[in-house]
Structures are given as C-alpha cells and as structure tokens.
Structure 1
Amino acid sequence: MSAISERRERERAHRHQLIISAARELAEAEGWEAVTTRRLAERVEYSQPVLYSHFDGKDAIVSAVALDGFSQLAAYLSHARQAAPEPEHALRAVSRAYLEFATDRPALYQAMFILPTDLKFASAETPVPLRASFDEFVNCFRPDSERRELFAEVIWAALHGIAVLSQSGRIPADGQEERVDFLITQIASAR
C-alpha cells in the first residue's frame, strides 16, 4: 500500500469515527430523534453523500455507535471484575458497573440495547466487543460450571430489565442496590 493510500485510509477512518462521535454527542444532548443525516453532515462539516459513503443510513450509524459502546462496556466491566477479590464479589462488582454504565450513558445504552441495529447477539456473527462484554459476566462464574453461560444470560437479562425500568421511572432508582443483592444471592445459591 502506498503512502497516499495509507493516508486516505487513515482519513477515512478518522471521518468514520468523527461521524460516530457526533451521532453519540447529538443523541446524548437531544435524544436519538435529533440524529439525522442532515444534522450529522452539518455537525461534522461533510456533505450528506460523504456521510452515506460511510453509512447506509441512521440505523447503520446507530449500529456503529452501539458497537463502540460495547467496546467501552467490555473495558468497564473488565475493570470492575478484576478489581474484585472473590468470585461473588466479582459478580456484584460487574453487576453494579453494568447498571452504572447504563445510568451514566443513557443514549449510548439505548443504541446498544433498545434501538434497532444489525448486531447479532448469541450467534457466530456476534461482534467481538459484544462477546467480550458478555464474557465479563461469564468469567464471574467458576470455569468448571456447565451452566455459567446460562447464569450470565440470566444476570444480564435481569440487569437489563432493572436498567430499563429504572430509566423509564417504572421502578424507583433508590432500590437498585437491594435488587442487585437479591439477584446475586439467588444466582449464587443456584450455582
């Protein structure tokens, strides 16, 4: 590859990331309804055709934001798990970190789990960052446990429910610690 081709590729990658960042910032400030290709083109100072050379439309942009979010989530959960001294503490730490992530980044969380994307969960096509996020839950359980993926799925699903119900105001946020304690206790007794 020539130096010119390498520079063009770096510039394209930079534009791609700039569009993703602008979409996330706009969604965090005004909600996902405000994220349009026209507004993004204005914000990144590129034409709409340039935007479409990177993404097929808003759904593709949301998918890219979500994938970026899963990379961040995996790192966040990994840090929480590795900071915990014992397996039960690790599960509690990862669970709390998950809920903190969802609370602190509502627009990103919405892109990752609520809005339509082309990301495949639990399949051979699952992107590495998504699998890495899930594996942080799996790694909280004993390696010799045949049901560790099942436990991880149940924990993740329950935490997702808690996050969504809390964000929508359907359950009070102040009971979150008690919910996590109950969930961990129930899963720990089933292992």
Structure 2
Amino acid sequence: MGRPVKEKSLTQQDVIAAAIACLDKEGEVALGVNRVARELGIKPPAIYKHLDGNTALRRAVALTIWQQYIEWCQQRTDGLDEPQALLRAGGRATRDFARSHPERYRAMTQFQLNFNDPETAPLIQEVFSFLKRVLQSYNLSETKLIDAMRIVNAAITGFIAIEQAGLMTLERSTDASYEVMLDALAVAIQHIEQVEP
C-alpha cells in the first residue's frame, strides 16, 4: 500500500485500508491506532483526526468489510433467479469470502450489526434483501421468513467457523459436506413453508 506523502493528505479511507492490510497480515491483534500508524509511516495522533481511537477504528474496519462482503456476494449471484441456485451461490460466495479473507471474515462476523444504528442499519437491509431474494418464491409468512433466515445464517456461519477452527477432522471432503448442507437447507426451507405457524 502506498503511503501518503504528508499526514495532512491522509483520509479516513487511507486509515481503514491500512488497518485492513494490517488485519490481513497479522490478524485482529493488529487493529490498533499505533500499529496502523506504523503501517502508514505516521504518528498516531494523525489518525485521531479521522477516527477516535481503537474502538472507532475497529468499527470502521468491520463496516467496510461488511460492505466488501455484500458486494462479493452480489457479484457472484447476479443474474440468478432460481431460489436453490441463489441459495447455493450465496452459500458458496460466503465460504469463498471466508477462505479468501479469513481474518476479515472473523472481524466482520464478530461485529454486531444493529437496526437502531444509522450506520449499520443499511447493511442489515442489504443482507436481508439478499436473503429475501433467495426465499421470495417460497410462501413464507414474516415469522417463517425470519426462521428460514436464522437457519440459513446459523448453518453457513457455523460450518465456516468450525472449518476455520480446524475441527473438521474426519476424512470426508469438507467441500462435499458443505454442498450437502446447502441442499439440506433448501429442503429445510420447504419444510418451514409447510409447517403450521
């Protein structure tokens, strides 16, 4: 990453990009003002002009990664309309993002999005819009839609978390198991559609 010539030319996006570069190289422990300042070749006080400390830095990084993840999934599902194809493509895109950017994925999933937060609410809406697009052809009430979203999210994020922790030690291919899980999720959604509320 190129370093700004002067601290005065530094932008918030420069700080966030440097923080993500540190995260990719060293993990979440590198998400601190002092470490990011060293990455940029500046003194820490220059960062405080853009972000108010480590908490604000971590928040800005998480929000940026969430946006990157949403764009990643959208690119990999564009042009798909069939619900099961969308579910598979979205599930694969999430796992591919986690594999390509493991530290980003961990930082993103540890940051809680909140509907009452004006910065995170739009991200939640984008995620929900995608899930609704996947589930739109099913006849789901609002309650059933929430159940289906929770099941899909829990299954995919749970699988990825266990896989990243190195806990899938049986000899069967994790790729094959993941595909079976995605197929099973489609069956589970059909079940949710049919059960009484």
TM-score (structure 2 length as normaliser): 0.78
Equivalent position to 2:116, from 109, 114, 124: 124
Q: Distance in 1 between matches of 2:155 and 2:104?
A: 19
- The secondary structure found in structure 2 opposite 1:171 is coil
Which of 161, 185, 188 aligns to 1:186? It is: 188
Q: How many residues matched?
A: 176
**Greater relative contact order (CA < 8 Å, ≥ 6 in sequence):** 1
Residues 1:145 and 2:137 are matched in the alignment: no
Task: Please state how far the C-alpha of 1:101 moved relative to its aligned partner.
Answer: 1.2
Q: Name the residue aligned to 1:102.
A: 98
The answer to whether the 8 A contact 2:28-2:103 is kept is: yes
Residues 70/160 of structure 1: CA separation in 2 closer, same or farther (3 Å cut):
same
Give 1:71 shift.
Answer: 1.2
Deviation at 1:163, TM superposition (A): 1.1
Which one-letter code corresponds to 1:164 in the other structure?
Answer: A
CA contact (8 A) 1:27 1:107 kept: yes
CA contact under 8 A between 2:33 and 2:57: conserved in structure 1?
Answer: no
- Residues 24, 107 of structure 1: 8 Å contact kept: no
Within-5 A mapping of 1:6-17: 15-17=11-13
Q: Which sections of structure 1, spanning at least 5 residues, go unmatched?
A: 1-10
TM-score, normalised to structure 1, is 0.80
Shift of 1:18: 0.9
Of 153, 161, 165, the residue aligned with 1:164 is 161
CA distance, structure 2, for counterparts of residue 107 and residue 127 of structure 1 = 23
- Give the deviation of 1:107 after TM superposition: 1.1
Q: Structure 1 residues 92 and 112 mapped into 2: Cα distance closer, same or farther (>3 Å)?
A: same
Alignment of 1:1-191 (within 5 A): 15-114=11-110, 117=111, 119-121=112-114, 123-125=115-117, 126-142=120-136, 145-146=140-141, 147-171=144-168, 173-174=174-175, 175-191=177-193
Between the aligned partners of 1:96 and 1:188, the Cα distance in structure 2 is 20
Distance 1:57 1:110 in 2: 21
Task: Please list every run of 5 or more consecutive structure 2 residues that lacks an aligned counterpart in the other structure.
Answer: 1-7
SS at match of 1:140: helix
Q: Secondary structure at the match of 2:134?
A: coil
Contact 1:71 1:133 (C-alpha < 8 Å) held by counterparts:
no
CA distance in 1, matches of 2:190, 2:140: 12
State percent identity of aligned pairs: 26
What amino acid does structure 1 have at the position aligned with 2:178?
Q
What per-residue deviation string (whole Å, max 9, x for no partner) do you get for residues 64-105 of structure 1? 111111112222222333332411211121111111112211
CA distance in 2, matches of 1:46, 1:124: 35
How far off its partner does 1:20 sit? 0.8
